Each structure stands twice: as C-alpha cells, then as structure tokens.
Amino acid sequence: MSRLFMSLSIAFRSLLQHGRRTVFLGLAIAGVTALLTLLNGLSSGIKRTMVHTATTLSTGHLNVGGFFKVTGGQSAPVVTRYKEVLDVVKRAVPEMVFAVARGRGWAKVISDRGSMQAGLGGIDIKDEPAFKDVLQIVAGSIDDLAQPNTVLVFESQLKKLEVKVGDALTVSAQTTRGAANTIDLRVVAIARDVGLLSKWNVFVPSATLRALYQIRPDATGAIHIHLAEKDFDHIPTIAARLRTSLEQAGFRVMDPDAQAFWMKFQTVNREEWTGQKLDVTTWEDELSFMTWTLKLLDGLTALLMVILIAIVITGIMNTMWIAIRERTREIGTLRAIGMQRRGVLSMFMLESLLLGLGSTVSGAVAGALLAAALNAAQIAVPEAVQLFLMSDRLQLSIEGPSLLRSVALITAVAGLAALFPSLRAARLRPVVAMSHFG
Amino acid sequence: MGDAFKMVVLIAFRNLVASRLKTAIVGGIIFFGAALVVVGTSLLDSVVESMSRSIIGSVAGHAQVYSAKSRDELEVMGGFDLEGPDIAPIDDFAKLKAVLMQVPNVKAVVPMGISGAMVTSGNSIDVALAELRGVVRKKIGGDTSAATIAAYDDGKAHVRQMVKVLEGDIENMAQLHDEKTLAPEDAATVRKAAQDEFWVEFDKNPLDSLEFLENRIAPQATDADLLFLRYVGTDPAAFARSFDRMKVADGTAIPPGQRGFLFAKYIYEEQVKLKTARRLDKIKDGLDNRTVTIASDPELQRFVRENHSQVREILLQLDGRKTELFRAKLRQELGSGEADVGKLLSAFLQTTDENFARRYAFFYKELAPALELYRVRIGDTLTIKAFTKSGYVQSVNLKVYGTFDFRGLEKSPLAGALSVMDMVSFRELYGFLTDDKRQELAALKAASGATDVSRDNAEAELFGKKADAVPGRVIEADATPGLDADKALSGLAGRLRRDDLAARVFDPKQLTQGVVLNAAVILENPRLLEKSMADIEAAGAAAGLPLRAISWQKASGLIGQFVLMMRMVLYTAVLIIFVVALVIINNALVMATLERVREIGTLRAVGAQRRFILAMLVIEAMVVGLLFGALGAGAGAAIIAVVGKVGIPAANQIFNFFFSGPRLYPVLGATSLGAALAIVLLVSALSSFYPAWLAMRVTPRQAMQSED
C-alpha cells in the first residue's frame, strides 16, 4: 500500500517538476476529452429530444398500428376494432405504463390568411394526462380539445396560418374512398414547439378525425404503448412478444419493417391482401427517416476522435521519450539503490496515467460545464441545423455513464501510449544509465 | 544579410536531420493534416459542384426572382411537403420580364410556378368501361365479326369480374367506414350490377347499362393508384431554351399553345415504371456499377425480397391469354410443373447472383413485351388533382407528351425531381381566379344554396377556365370558397368537361403574360451573381415591382443549407484537429529546444544575436511544415486523383442524392492545395514561436553552465 503511495507521490512530483510540459500535454488531452464530452452530449441530446418529441407527438415507445385495405391497391393507416387489440396488448405487455389510441391523418389546414399541409393527430385528451404535462400551452386551454371540432396548433405554425385562439380553421382531406372531405375547426390551444416534428403536426379530437375520414367509431390510427425507462433497452424483445400474442389472438400481423408507417404505403398497396393487418413498430422504426442524422453524427465523432487520439498518442510518446532521456541518470540511480525494472515501468506508467486521469477529468468537467452553459444560453440554430438537431435550440445532454466512458477511454489511451517508452526505460542497465550524459 | 540568411537556413536544415525523432513527429502530424485538408475540401467541393450543376441546370437557374411580398422564402427544391412555400404571385410576367431583361448580365428569364399534387393513374374500371364502350359502338354500328363478338364477351366478363370484386370491397368498407357516411343505395347499386338479370338487360340495352355502370358503379371503385408528383409550371419552350441541357428522352416536347405534361425521366422511371421492372433495373445497376453482390448487399436483398413477394402488380395485368403465355414460358424457363402463375413469377423473381443476368434478360425479352411497363404511357391523359392555395381540390386533365432529362445529369435525383407542365394548367391547379370567374362562382353558390359538403367533391370539378379568357387582374382565391358549389358539376359531366378542356388550345400569349409565382434568371456571367441579384432588386424597386432575388443555393432550400452545414462541420473538424496538433507540435518543439539549450548558448557565445536564434528556430519549423505539408498535400492530391478515376460509389439513396448520381468523381481544387499549405505554414509558424521565444531568452552563460 505504502509502495503504491510512494510510486504515486514520485509520479506526481515528476509531473510537477516538468510543469510546463505537463501543462501543455494536459491541456491537449483535456481539450480532446472536453470535445468528446460535448459531441457525445450533442448526440444524446438529439436522441433525447427525438424520443421526447416523438413519444409526445407521433409514436409510443411501442406501437400497434396497421393498415386497412378496402381493395387490393389502396390502404388506410387504420386499426379497426381497436379495443379488442388493446385487450391483447394489455395481456401481452405487462410492462406497459399506459397506452393511448391516436388517429393518423394528413390534410390541408386552411385559415383565413394562409394554409399548410399537416399531419393530423386524433387524440382523446381526457385519456391522455401525460400529453398535458409535456406540452406547454401558450394560449387557450388544452382541455377544450375534449369538445368536438377543435384543434391544437403549435407556435411555429402561426407564421403560416396567422390564427389565434377562437379563430376558425378548415381541414380538407381525401377519404379512403378518394373523395375530398372538409371540416371546420376552432383553435382552442396554441402550444410551444416540441422539436422539429411539431412543425408538421396539429391535434384534433379523435372523433373529429374519424368524421373527417368518415371512419367507424371503433377504429383508430394506432395504439401507442408507453413504457418505463428501465424497459427501453429491451423494446425489440417486447415487440416480438407482442407480435406473437397478437397472432395467437387471431389478428393478421405484418412482418417487421423498420420504417415509419407513411413510408409503407407503397409496399402495402402492392400486396394482395384486403381487410385489416396490424403492424407492431418501435419508436425508432417510426423515426427511421430521421435517425440517420444521428448515425452520421456518431460516425463523424468517431472519425474525429480517432484522428485526435492518434495525435495525442504521438504527443504523449514524444514527451515520454524525452522525459526518459532527460531522466536516464535518475533511472540509473533508482535502479542502483534497488528499484526493480517493474518499479521503473510502473513509475513512468503511473506518471502518464496520472497525467491522463487528471486532464481527462478536468476536460470532462470543463466539457460538462460548457454544455450546461450552452444549454442555459438557449442558442437558436439555423433551419438546416434544426433538421439535424431535431430541435430549434442547441440542447446537449451530458450523461454520467458516457462521461465516465470518455474519461476511462482517454486515460487508458494515455497509459497505453506510455507503455512502449516506459518499457524502454525499464530495460536500461543501471551502469549505462548512470554514466549517461545529456 | 544574405549570408546570415543562408547560414540560418543551413543550420536549420542540419538541425532537422540531427533531431530526427522530433522532425518525424512534427512532420507526421503536419503531413497527415495537409493530406486531410486536401482530401476533405476537394471531396466537399466536388459534392457542391455536382449538386450545383444539378440545381442550376435543372430548374433554379443562377438566381430566382419572386415577389418581395411573399410570406415564405422561395424554395424550388427539397421541400418536405408537397405544397410549396407561400409565395405572393406576380401579376404580370410580361412586365417582370421587361424589368429583368434591362438588368445587365441577365441572359434569359423563365416564368415558373412550383407545386405538387397527387395524381391518379385512372381507375381500372374506367379503362375497362371505356374499352367496352368502344366495342359496343362497333357492334351497334353493325360489325358482327367473330373478333368483335369475342371482344364484347371478354369485355363484359372483365367488367363483371370487377363488379364482383367491388362487391367484396363494399363489405370491407363497412368495416372501416362509419355507417352514417355509407349510403345504402351505393351498396344496392353494386348488388344490382352483380346480378344475372342486369347482364341479360345489358345485352338488350348496352348503352343505358353502360351509363349506369359509368355513373353509379365506377365512382365507387377506389383502386386508382396514387402518384405524388412535384412539378413546375412554365413556358415549355422558354424552359427548354434556357436550360439548354434539357432533352426530350421519350415522346415529344409539349407543342406550343397546348396543355401538356412532361415527366422528369427519373421520376418516370422511379415512380411510374412497373415496380418489379424498376427493381430489376436497380439490382442490375448495383451489380454492374457498384460491384456489390446480392449475397452481401442488404439493399439488393430487399429488392429481391420485394420482387419475390409483390407479384400482384404483374398478375393484375394478365388476362386469360397472357396468363397462359406466362405460365408456358415460366414453366419452361424454371423447369417447373407449377400451375399457379403467381407462384411461378414469385419463384422466377427469387434471383441470386448466379442466375440474375439470365433472368434479367429473360424478363425483358420474353415477359416485358406482354406487360405494360409504365402505368402512365406517353400519350395518355393524366388527371392531376391538387389542393389549391385555398384548400379546395382542383383537377386538370393533361396529355403526357413525353419525358425529359438533362444531358450529363441523367442519373441525378436532384435534377430529375421536377416534372414540367404548361403555365396555364398550373395557374388553374394553383387556384388563381380571374374577376369574371369569381362572379360565376358567386352565381353558382347562390343557385345551389347547399351548405353540406358532398363526398362527390373529388369527382367534382370546380370550374373550367375558358381557354379564351382574357387574362385580367388576377387575385388569389379567398379561403375556402366554393366548397359548397362543388356539387355543381359532378360525375360524368365533370369528366366530360375536363376532357373537353384538355383538348382545347390556348393563346400562346398566356405563357408570356399573366400571373407567375417566380422566375428563373440565367446570367451571362455567373461570377457576377451577387451584383446581378442586387441590380435585379434595385430594378424591381424602381419599376414599382418589389422583388426578391436569391441565389440558386438559397433557392435550393435545405439542400443548399445542408451543403453549407457540411462545410461548417468539415472546417470545425479541421480547426479542432489543427488546434490539438498545434499544442502537440508546440510541446515537441519546446522539448527539442530545451535539449538544445547548450547548443544555443554556444551559438550566442560565438556572437549569434537573439534575432538569429529566433529566425533559426522559426525557419526550422517552417521548413518542416513546408516540406511535410507539401508531401501531405501531394499525397492528398494523389488520393483524389486515384479516387477521381475510379469514382466513389453512392452507398445508398442519401448519398445518391448528395453525389447527384450513382458515383462521385472528385476533382482536385487548386484552392484546397493552397488552403492546405497556408494552414500548415501558419500552424508550424505559430507552434514555433513559444519555443523560439524560450530559446531567445537563453543567455550564453546560463547555457554553458547547464548540465543538460
């Protein structure tokens, strides 16, 4: 124990002695760690916003959606007799926290002053307490969405629609029978944006959506199943189980296909069956058209890190070589008074590890602080970046485990980089080392 | 001075060789950095270049001009939704053109409007009924040849089969739709048409029965296939003149004064072609051009799977005779005794790397001639239904004259995203109403007095635009007018009206005058883009026509911004890499300097000035920088040269889009080389200042005393 303590104190003193060198190298390592922290924070920030936004607006953690085909060539994103489906879901997914039925639609929304195309979410606000908690209402009351022919819009849509609470909106859509149908709605609530998806979504009562598409009261768009955070990692397993249960209960279930429901029309329309088929999807499936940005960011981060770590390794090795040359006589002396080769090796390794640990920790802390500062600054980002970030503000999310991983990774790299020079130092013979000059 | 300089350089070179380790480390980092800058910026520039060619050459022109009163910014490409941005119309293109043509450097101005719509390829029952009607006419006309009688019986059987399918559909519909919205008489009419008595009656009185089928049965069929198209309404002749790489690939151009539609070849292939055939093409492209295999590439595997499982589209095309033909051919080809054509097809389309070439050839040689490879043929009439700005559905029938693409951009999804239609039809779909049309509307509204919304709306055609209408003052239609008036023309009457309109010609002047949304401007000298844009805005303001001019990059919307962002990401990465490199190099140099304290002290003792020491060390670093920087840049250039020959295959759809084609052939940019060298020199100079400053402070005595 005391041996370790001594080694540590020698390493620490050596670092202090070569203060300038330590500071420079430490700064570089800390900078790289801070960068890694920030980039990871960005990536998980995006993911978090994505899950948060999406599970509020357009998907559950797990969904039972599906298509109803009146004829072979046309399909509607509808689940008929959904209560029966819900019963099966309740039995098959005991992990379920709650489930909601949402209508799905796509329509033209027209106000007196403008118009836009939007995804319609049909919602029973009375059954969805969580929805109320997540949305911040800027004007009006979300509870009014319980009344028929009402609509909730998002702030960013006001630019196009120019409406306020109480104003009228008309929605116009094609029913599955190919006819256009319209309904007049009253704006009852305006909500603050929830990420990019809210640009294209408005919410109406389920009954209104059914009336617009003229579908039966026992039909809905999809059942969104919400799970507790602890179950997030095994969503695919739960999905597979649910699929089997639904099949056993006599429902026809589509093969898994990791795409958003609206990307499946082309395929479904070309298949021969008619009637109802159910489709079990996860939130990642429904957002597959967006998650590629996340993959791109992770790829870029990895690439950048590899390059930077290569540079840092070069720097550490260089420093160690020179330190060993400078301290050859010291090494000789230590060996002469009885230090083992292993001792020399661990002394230099410890030095490097200590430097690595110190600078990674401070780098991680700096990165986390910077991330917090960036979050607090609420930096608005341009539209192209918004698409990438899924949010109109820069949001970083620093997570403990990934922070620890970064620290461990870079410290380990620092240690490894020192391994080769340290081995060389350990191999020095005391006599040669002591007579070394310069 | 000259001698001193020579000496400094000499000493610097000697030192480089003397401390090889330091040189190797610093040089390695610099080498790598320079290569990265050259490769990175060249790649990015090549992406930008290929995208800009696609964007400028296909629709954007060098600049886009639109009304400054618009609520949104114009985007000619890459919108997420079908509808375009909210652009205030410009009332008179003739005036706009006159203003723009006065601006120096403006070569051509093309009128435009961009929007998108759902397009139905027509109900198959409509087609079958039209065929039957033709045969019935012949028969009534006295043609009683065996062929006509056989065709009559075939046609009847076909329609009867369809009615039977419709009966099943009606049952399905009851499961989906609210009973209240389903008129019971609809189901009753279908039941009636399915009964034997109806068909006995049909032989006696074919014309009346046909009318019943056309008016009461056909509208209930919902098997029309939907296409989502984005199109640009323009003056087709001016468009072809100004975007001179445009060429007609199939069919002909839209004749002057005719309404018409030209598909972008890419869209035609991608969306209109028989999906099975398109997927076979894509698999072939993957095997030939991307050198992947079905066994290893998930995308190709998906194509095979879809081909294998989706044979319905082909089966629907097979009547009795063709079914027999396919059965015989496939049985022979596969050596199978299977009787079911669906299963035979499915087995045939289960292609592997081994049998693909043979089956591909077999498909096109033996099967394709019996198939309709495109849902919409050249010469067909296309019904385009669009939501007008105010939300009602407007539909127009247009003849498809052909397809077009752009020379050199044939495979670019970007350049092939927009189809072309004449401006007159565009205005109608977009919902511009002239004064007299507004009055007509008001009259009809008053006459109908109905307030409920009929579900016949889709069939209904609002109002045709009289072809000889004088282009008067144009206004945008009010919000939601005429929804109740849609009843006015429905069913057959509406269809006839549309057919009639499609055939009418219009005064070619309507293309050069009248309302447009935006205009593409082609410049004489694209380098002066910024100045010309300012000139255009000034000229507009002077003429009382507030205009906004935006560059092609801005007009391409998110795509252009994406490029900017990629550039930002690259520059940030380069910056970070060099900052870290700077620290590491600096560190290496500091240590190298400290090692040389004695040497420096000696130099000082024999009379070297501080300036000399400083110069020596900085030059040393710059030499390393320049040498390894040049080597690195050379290596980067070599990589680009090799890659430029081979091309980078686009791994998937997203890259296809960014590469603006299936392969990117990067070219080396002179600026990337320059930038790489400049950055490298800057970094090596900066990183040597601190160590040099340290060395400068070394006094001769101190140095001679020091032990190491």
Q: A 241-300 residues with CB below 8 A of B? A: 267, 269-272, 274-276, 292, 300
Residue to mutate among A322, A325, A330, A413, with most B CBs inside 10 A, is A322
CA distance A272 to A73: 8
Please indicate if any CB of chain B lies within 8 Å of the CB of A191: no
Element (H, E) at B503: helix B491-503
Contact A311 B177 (CB under 8 A): no
CA distance B252 to B272: 18
pLDDT tens track for B282-320: 899 888 877 788 888 877 888 888 888 777 778 777 766
Contact A385 B175 (CB under 8 A): no
Contact B587 A315 (CB under 8 A): yes
What DSSP assignment string belongs to B22-50?
A: HHHHHHHHHHHHHHHHHHHHHHHHHHHHH
Please indicate if any CB of chain B lies within 8 Å of the CB of A327: no
Given a cut of 70, is residue B465 above it in pLDDT?
no
Report H helices in B195-257.
196-204, 206-212, 236-242
Among A116, A179, A292, the residue with its CB nearest the CB of B456 is: A179
Please indicate if any CB of chain B lies within 8 Å of the CB of A17: no
Among B72, B169, B457, the residue with its CB nearest the CB of A71 is: B169
Between the alpha carbon of residue A275 and those of residues A79, A85, A253, B459, the distances in Å are: 10, 15, 12, 25
With beta carbons less than 8 A apart as the criterion, state whether B695 and B603 touch. Answer: no
Contact B565 A384 (CB under 8 A): yes
Distance from chain centroid for Cα B171 = 40
Among A112, A176, A322, the residue with its CB nearest the CB of B176 is: A176
Question: Which residues of chain B neighbour A311 with C-beta distances below 8 Å?
Answer: 29, 577, 580-581, 584
Question: Which residues of chain B neighbour A71 with C-beta distances below 8 Å?
Answer: 165, 169, 172, 221-223
Shortest Cα distance, chain B CAs vs residue A308, angstroms: 6
pLDDT at B446: 66
Q: A 82-101 residues with CB below 8 A of B? A: none
Report H helices in B404-478.
423-430, 435-448
**Residues in Cβ contact with A280 at an 8 Å cutoff, skipping those fewer than 6 apart:** A62, A63, A64, A239, A242, A243, A246, A253, A256
pLDDT at B476: 32
Question: Which residues of chain B neighbour A114 with C-beta distances below 8 Å?
Answer: 71, 86
Contact B175 A276 (CB under 8 A): yes
Shortest Cα distance, chain A CAs vs residue B334, angstroms: 24
Question: Which residues of chain A neighbour B221 with C-beta distances below 8 Å?
Answer: 71
Distance from chain centroid for Cα A372 = 17
Nearest CA in chain B to A82: B176
Backbone angles phi, psi at B623, to 5 degrees: -65, -45
Among A74, A274, A385, the residue with its CB nearest the CB of B565 is: A385
Q: Provide the 8-state DSSP code for A196.
A: G
Element (H, E) at A106: strand A96-110
pTM, two decimal places: 0.69
* C-alpha dihedral, B493 to B495 to B497 to B503, nearest 10°: -150
- At B407 the three-state DSSP class reads coil
With beta carbons less than 8 A apart as the criterion, state whether A311 and A304 touch. Answer: no
**List of long-range contacts for A250-257, beta carbons under 8 Å, 24+ apart:** A251/A85, A251/A88, A251/A276, A251/A278, A252/A276, A252/A277, A252/A278, A253/A277, A253/A278, A253/A279, A253/A280, A254/A66, A254/A67, A254/A278, A254/A279, A256/A280, A256/A281, A257/A285
Given a cut of 90, is residue B451 above it in pLDDT?
no
Shortest Cα distance, chain B CAs vs residue A2, angstroms: 33
Q: Per-residue confidence at B676, pLDDT binned at 50, 70, 90?
A: confident
Contact B82 A382 (CB under 8 A): no
CA distance B191 to B184: 11
CA distance B413 to B54: 9
Token pair 């009055």 is at which residue? B439
- How many Cβ pairs closer than 8 A exist between chain A and B? 213
Q: A 171-190 residues with CB below 8 A of B? A: 172, 174-182
CA distance B65 to B283: 41
Q: Per-residue confidence at B173, pLDDT binned at 50, 70, 90?
A: confident
Residue to mutate among B587, B602, B704, with most A CBs inside 10 A, is B587
Shortest Cα distance, chain A CAs vs residue B489, angstroms: 14
A18: how many CB neighbours lie within 10 A of its CB? 18
**Residues across chain B:** 708
Question: Which residues of chain A neighbour B577 with C-beta distances below 8 Å?
Answer: 304, 307-308, 311
Shortest Cα distance, chain B CAs vs residue A388, angstroms: 9
Please indicate if any CB of chain B lies within 8 Å of the CB of A71: yes
CA distance B373 to B381: 17
Question: Which residues of chain B neighbour A317 with C-beta distances below 8 Å?
Answer: 25
CA distance B421 to B239: 11
Residue to mutate among B123, B452, B583, with most A CBs inside 10 A, is B583
Nearest CA in chain B to A314: B25
CA distance A104 to A281: 15
Closest C-alpha among B168, B158, B154 to residue B222:
B168
Given a cut of 60, is residue B180 above it in pLDDT?
yes
Please indicate if any CB of chain B lies within 8 Å of the CB of A387: yes
Question: Which residues of chain B neighbour A20 with C-beta distances below 8 Å?
Answer: 590
Question: Which residues of chain B neighbour A117 with C-beta distances below 8 Å?
Answer: 81-83, 387
Contact A25 B587 (CB under 8 A): yes
Contact A71 B165 (CB under 8 A): yes
Structure-token pair, residue A408 = 């461990």
Q: Per-residue confidence at B481, pLDDT binned at 50, 70, 90?
A: very low
Backbone angles phi, psi at B650, to 5 degrees: -75, 115
Please indicate if any CB of chain B lies within 8 Å of the CB of A304: yes
Contact B83 A117 (CB under 8 A): yes
pLDDT at B475: 32
Which residues are registered as beta bridge partners of A110? A115, A170
**Residues in Cβ contact with B563 at an 8 Å cutoff, skipping those fewer than 6 apart:** B47, B48, B51, B553
Question: Which residues of chain B neighbour A73 with C-beta distances below 8 Å?
Answer: 223-225
Nearest CA in chain B to A308: B577
pLDDT tens track for B313-367: 787 777 667 788 888 888 988 888 888 888 888 889 988 888 999 999 999 998 8
Element (H, E) at B382: strand B381-387
Shortest Cα distance, chain A CAs vs residue B676, angstroms: 17
Shortest Cα distance, chain A CAs vs residue B377, angstroms: 19
Among A60-69, A381-390, B55-64, B634-643, the range scoring the smallest mean pLDDT is A381-390
Residues A172-209: b if buried by 16+ CB within 10 A, e if exposed: bbbbbbbbbbbbebbbbbbbebbbbbbbbbbbbbbbbb
pLDDT at B402: 92
Question: Which residues of chain B neighbour A437 with C-beta distances below 8 Å?
Answer: 708
Question: Which residues of chain A neighbour B80 with C-beta distances below 8 Å?
Answer: 200
Nearest CA in chain B to A318: B588
Shortest Cα distance, chain A CAs vs residue B221, angstroms: 8
Closest C-alpha among B569, B354, B287 to residue A293:
B569
pLDDT at B495: 52
Among B80, B312, B390, the residue with its CB nearest the CB of A110 is: B390
Maximum Cα–Cα distance across chain B:
126
With beta carbons less than 8 A apart as the criterion, state whether A411 and A54 touch. Answer: no
Contact B584 A311 (CB under 8 A): yes
- At B232 the three-state DSSP class reads strand
Token pair 């075939």 is at which residue? B154
Among A178, A210, A292, the residue with its CB nearest the CB of B224 is: A178
pLDDT at B455: 38
Q: Per-residue confidence at B473, pLDDT binned at 50, 70, 90?
A: very low
CA distance B465 to B504: 11
The two beta strands, B393-406 and B432-434, are unpaired
pLDDT at A129: 76
Structure-token pair, residue B168 = 């099943």
pLDDT-above-90 percentage for chain B: 4
Distance from chain centroid for Cα B522 = 21
In order along chain A (438 residues), what is the average pLDDT of each group of 10 residues?
72 76 81 87 82 80 89 82 91 89 88 83 85 84 90 87 88 76 91 78 91 88 88 88 92 86 80 85 83 78 85 82 78 81 82 87 92 86 68 79 87 86 81 65
pLDDT tens track for B583-623: 888 878 887 777 777 788 888 888 878 888 888 888 888 88
CA distance B328 to B344: 10
**Residues in Cβ contact with B316 at an 8 Å cutoff, skipping those fewer than 6 apart:** A72, B124
